[in-house]
A and B are shown apart, each in its own frame.
Chain A
């Protein structure tokens, strides 16, 4: 793989970033290399998804930067890494070696239940075309996790007045948790707080559904994304 000088060219090729010589050489190579053809096919649909996006889509999402607490629904591995980072930071600012002795106690110290900034609400991602928008903030509590939901119809768009929606969570244990339901009317902003007896790391994802319908909005972080980043 590393011996193949063309092995990592597929993305630059698809994005039209190769110069003419390199493009022709890559195309000639594709004709004789099945592996590179397979690599290319793997991502060939992606660039068209990016076409027409605003430049703001490539900026850092606002909710990621300022939160001192590691992102809430990260995969266990990443969570562990983030906690390790947070741990070091706190240790060096004076929490001392005591904290190192007990990871669980440490988390309680690093993420105090009632002090410090609230985690910024995060926008839920649409899974289907929908007039509904929602944000969710997750707050670690001694009893589990507090879930603050805000839900509304997008400006000028609305479903039938009084349409009903439900919030469900899927735990990493495979169980589904009903977290509440509400009706939504145009121009109305529904805010409610729910809770779940799981830690954030035990929550696989959160979804908004209509009764007996498919999920329309979701909040969840890909399991393997950060690993694949490298």
Chain B
């Protein structure tokens, strides 16, 4: 397992790296992050906008953030 992304001091991850990592997620994961993160939607708003159940918004964000974390770590880890 790569080093975990720990605390704020580790957050100096290059933005382009984050964008590249986002690009490796599924579109469903990007969509739910766009709703809840970029647009600041609530679970209910995101569910309405995406046409999915609120429970799916919760689980999808759950998996999306983990997939993103893994992608970032792996991209950093290739060094």
Chain A contact residues, CB within 8 Å of chain B: 8-12, 14-19, 22, 42-43, 45-51, 53, 55, 57-61, 64, 123, 125-129, 170, 204-205, 207, 214-215, 218, 220-225, 228-230
Given A22-B43, A50-B22, A204-B78: 7 more A-B contacts, CB < 8 Å = A12-B57, A12-B61, A16-B36, A43-B69, A45-B5, A127-B79, A207-B78
Within 8 A of A (CB), among B7-48: 7-8, 10-11, 13-27, 29-31, 33-34, 36-38, 40-44, 46
In the complex, the answer to whether B18 meets A129 with C-beta atoms within 8 Å is no
Some 10 contacts from A to B, beta carbons below 8 A apart, are: A18-B43, A48-B8, A50-B33, A50-B68, A53-B15, A58-B31, A59-B30, A127-B14, A215-B78, A218-B79
Residue from the set A10, A12, A53, A214 with the largest chain B CB neighbour count within 10 Å = A12
Which of A11, A47, A128, A214 is the one whose CB lies under 8 Å from B14? A128
Asked if residues A228 and B37 are in contact (CB atoms below 8 Å), the reply is no
Which residue of chain A has its CB nearest to the CB of B76? A127
Q: Closest chain A residue to B73 by CB distance?
A: A222
Q: How far is the CA of A142 from the CA of B4 in the complex (A)?
A: 40
Cα separation A43 to B46 with both chains bound (whole Å):
20
Tell me if B61 and A55 are in contact (CB < 8 A): no
The 6 closest A-B pairs by CB, nearest first: A222-B74, A58-B34, A125-B20, A61-B23, A11-B61, A15-B36
Contact at B17–A45, with CB atoms within 8 Å? no
A222 in contact with B43 (CB, 8 Å): no
Q: Are A47 and B37 in contact (CB under 8 A)?
A: yes
Residue of chain B at shortest CB distance from A45: B5
Instruction: State which of B42, B63, B78 has its C-beta within 8 Å of the C-beta of A17.
Output: B42
- Complex interface: chain B residues within 8 A of A42 (CB): 4, 66, 69
Distance (whole angstroms) from the CB of A106 to the closest CB of chain B: 26
Q: Which residues of A contact B43 (CB under 8 A)?
A: 12, 17-19, 22
> What residues of A have a CB within 8 angstroms of the CB of B21 in the complex?
125
Chain B's nearest CB lies how many Å from the CB of A171? 13
